[in-house]
Amino acid sequence: MNLFPKYRIPALGLLTIAALLSAAAQAPPVVLTKPVTPEKTTGADGFIQRWLLLEPIAANGLTDSIVQTTVKKEYFPGQFTAVPHDGDKVTVNGEELNWHAVDTKDYNINLYRFAESHGKKTSDVLFWAVTTVSGPKEMSGLRLAIGSNAASVWWVNGEEVIGIYGDRQTVIDDGVSKRLTLKKGPNVVRAAIINGGGATDFCARFLDADDQPVKGLVVSVGEVRK
């Protein structure tokens, strides 16, 4: 006696199941999420995991001089001074671009997935990123340590502190600034990342006077729109 009778699945059902499995296999992983808390602290590895990202702007060139010229061009008002909010809009070359607050559980921010999720170009583009970090007291002798794919330039409280250039992969602490001071309370960290083609991402953290990651910094991007 057959204890396990066979059940026939209609051909249409098989096609539906196959389509669902194929879609699930091809769906890109969720690497960036919208913040759900007002603040996020840096962990033991010190990486800053909350940022405001502007949808990408067309840009070309990864050499030192081209990157410097590209990031110093004014694309929108308050580019080097304003601290944007989630949902804010700017107009660049006649195109309206949005700022988005994002969190990641990884050490890096995946800009390729960010651009792709908003239907934007991922190659030959410039990304702007801004965040605010706060400490309980003034902290001197720190260094901003960054990595990016590809070139990037970084500012802390309006001062340019580090830049890395060329077609490169993201490497933790690939570029390290001179010693700097974070003041008590909020400090604005701003970055411009240029990608030539393919994958693009970045990572950033502060290192202390002993070159150890600074944990416990409070990271905020202000109110996040629902």
pLDDT in tens, 104-138: 999 999 999 999 999 999 999 999 999 999 999 99
Q: Is the pLDDT of residue 11 over 90?
A: no
Helix then strand count (H, E) for the chain reads: 3, 15
Q: What class, spelled out in words, does domain 33-220 have in CATH?
A: mainly beta
Q: Is the pLDDT of residue 15 over 80?
A: no
Q: What is the mean predicted confidence (pLDDT) over 77-99?
A: 96
Please tell me the predicted confidence (pLDDT) of residue 13. 57
Say what percent of the chain tops pLDDT 70.
87
Which stretch of 15-19, 211-215, 217-221 has the lowest confidence by average pLDDT? 15-19
Please tell me the predicted confidence (pLDDT) of residue 12. 52
The whole-angstrom separation of Cα 119 and Cα 89 is 16
Quick one: which H or E segment has residue 34? Answer: none
pLDDT digit string, tens, across residues 165-180: 999 999 999 999 999 9
Q: Cβ(70)–Cβ(125) under 8 Å?
A: no
Please state, as a whole number, how many other Cβ atoms lie within 10 Å of the Cβ of residue 9: 9
Quick one: which H or E segment has residue 20? Answer: helix 11-26
pLDDT digit string, tens, across residues 36-47: 999 999 999 999
Please tell me the predicted confidence (pLDDT) of residue 24. 43
Q: Is the pLDDT of residue 145 over 60?
A: yes
Q: Is the pLDDT of residue 23 over 50?
A: no
Please tell me the predicted confidence (pLDDT) of residue 8. 57
Per residue in 186-210, is it b (16+ CB within 10 Å) or e — as a string? Answer: ebebbbbbbbbeeebbbbbbbbeee
What predicted TM-score, i.e. pTM, was given to this entire model? 0.87
The whole-angstrom separation of Cα 1 and Cα 160 is 80
Q: What is the mean predicted confidence (pLDDT) over 46-50?
A: 98
The whole-angstrom separation of Cα 53 and Cα 73 is 18
pLDDT band of 225, cuts 50, 70, 90: confident
Per the prediction, the chain carries an average pLDDT of 91
Strand partners, 117: none
Q: Virtual CA dihedral for 24, 28, 32, 35, nearest 10 degrees?
A: -30
CA distances from 127 to 59, 149, 192, 201 (A): 9, 11, 6, 10
Asked whether the CA dihedral 26, 32, 37, 42 is positive or negative, the reply is positive
